[in-house]
Amino acid sequence: MNGGLLVAGTTSDAGKSVVTAGICRWLVRQGVKVAPFKAQNMSLNSFVTREGAEIGRAQAMQAQACRVEPTALMNPVLLKPGGERSSQVVLLGKPVGEMTARGYHGGRQERLLGTVLESLAELRGAYDAVICEGAGSPAEINLRRTDIVNMGVARGAGLPVLIVGDIDRGGVFASFFGTVALLAPEDQALVAGFLVNKFRGDVSLLEPGLDMLHGLTGRRTYGVLPFRHGLGIDEEDGLRVSLRGTVRESVVAPPVGEDVLRVAVCAVPLMSNFTDVDALAAEPGVVVRFVDRPEELADADLVIVPGTRGTVRALEWLRERGLADGIARRVAEGRPVLGVCGGFQLLGEHIEDDVESRAGHVEGLGLLPVRVRFAREKTLTRPVGEALGERVEGYEIHHGVAEVLGGAPFLDGCRVGQTWGTHWHGSLESDGFRQAFLREVAAAAGRRFVPAPDTSFAALREEQLDRLGDLIEQHADTDALWRLIESGAPSGLPFVPPGAPA
C-alpha cells in the first residue's frame, strides 16, 4: 500500500486536525504504517522534534496518533505570527526569516511548493499511507495561485481530497456545494466527497440532504460524525486548550483533598504554547482560567505568565493593564508565580532585544535575578533534567538567552521563594514533577489540595486519541475510506459549475 489522502475543510476550525488524527489512529490500529503531514501551518503552538526541528503541535499530536516520532517532514513550513502582518517563516524545522503576508503570498510561498512536495514524497516512500491536513478552505480563490497546502499539494501529489464541514455552525450543505463549485476542473477531479462533523440528533433526518448533495455534485458523503465533547487536539490558534475542560468533561473527577487549586494564566499578546497548562487542567481539583484583568489574580493560588512570540510587547501589555503590579504584589507576599519561556524572560531585571521587537534595552519586572539577551539563532532543544526530586522532560523554543545571576536553580532557570522561571515548555507533563510542584503551590497558598496519585497525562492523551479513532471507525464508511486512501479519487467525477474564476 502506498496510499494518501488530503483532509480539507469548508472553513478554518471545521475539524480537519481532529479528523486527520482520527483517521491516523484508525489506520494504525489496522496495522498500517501511517504518518501525518501538513504542508504549511500557521501557529504559535509549536513543538521540538528529537532532531531539534520546530513543527506545529497539531502535527506532533497527529504523529502520536500514528504512534511514530514527529519529524520536520511532517510540517515543512511553519508560520509563527509576530504581529498583525508579519510572521517568522520556519522551513524544515529552522527559522529562515521574517516576512509580511504580502511578501510571502507574493512569491515566496509558491517557490516553497517544491520543498513541500519533496517532503511529502519522502514520507510516502517510508510509510504505507500519509494523511495530509489542509488549511483554511481550498476555495480561497484569492490565494489559489500560490496555494501549497490545499489543492496545490493535492494536485502536485495526485491526492484524493475529503472535505470536512462543521454542521454545528449551520450552512453545511451550501458550504460543501460552494467549496466544490469554486474549484477549477482539475481540482474538482480530486475532490472525492464529504465528511459531516459535529452532528447532533437523528442522522436519518440528514440523509435526504446528503442524497440531494450527491445528486448536485456527484460526490458521496463518507460519514457523519456526531458531536462529542472533549475531542480536540493541540490547537493551532485561539484560546481553546486541547485538554483544558475537555479531559474528564463527561464525568468531572472530584478533588482528592479538601480544596481546589485555582490557576490564573495571563492571556498575553501573541501567547505561544499555551498547551503548557493542559497538564494542570487534567488534574482533578485544579481549575485553570485565562485572565486579562488584575482583579482576576486576587483569588488565584498560582499565576502563570506563559510563553509569547512578543516578550517586550507582552511586558508592555502587563503594565498597561495593571497586571504587572498585581504580579509584583503577589511576589512580595510570597504567593506562587510561574513564568515560562517569554513569561520567564519578562520576570527578569532587563531585556536586550535587537531581534524580536528591536526595542533595544527594556527594563523587566525585576522579580527574578535574570538578564536576557535576544540572539538571532533560535534555541531548539529537548532537555531532560530534575527538579523537586523528580525527573523532568521538556522542550525549548526561544531567541532569548538568560543569564541567571542568583536564586536557586530550576530547570535551567531559577527560583526565588515562590517565584519560578524556566524556558522549558512541557515540563508539567512529567507526572511526578507536576504533582510535586502542585504540592509546593498548595502549601504556599495554604490550600488543603492533594494531587491525584493516579493521573497520567500521557495516558489521558492516548485515551483522547483512541476516542478519535473510535469516532472514525464507528461513524465513517471505513471500507470506502480505505479504497479512497489506497486507490485515489474515483474517476469520472462530474464538474460542478461555475468553477474557479479565470
Asked whether the beta carbons of 374 and 352 are under 8 A apart, the reply is yes
List the catalytic residue out of 24, 266, 341, 414.
341
Q: Considering just the CA atoms, what is the radius of gyration of the chain in Å?
A: 23
105 among known catalytic residues: no
Determine phi and psi for 147, rounding to 5 degrees.
Answer: -70, 125
Specify which residues 175 forms β-bridges with: none
List the catalytic residue out of 398, 399, 425, 475.
425
Give me the residue label for grid cell 462533523: 197
Quote the CA–CA distance of 456 and 461 in Å, as a whole number.
9
Q: How far is CA 282 from the centre of its chain?
A: 17
β-strand pairing of 337-340 with 419-422:
parallel
66 among known catalytic residues: no
User: How many residues can be counted in the chain?
Assistant: 502
Q: ∠ CA(111), CA(115), CA(117), 5° rounding?
A: 110
Amino acid at 103: G
Of 384, 307, 381, 373, the closest CA to residue 340 belongs to 307
Q: Supply the DSSP symbol for 283.
A: S
Three cell numbers, residue 165: 464541514
Three cell numbers, residue 269: 499578546
Cis peptide before 185 (omega within 30 of 0): no
The catalytic site residues sit at 341, 425
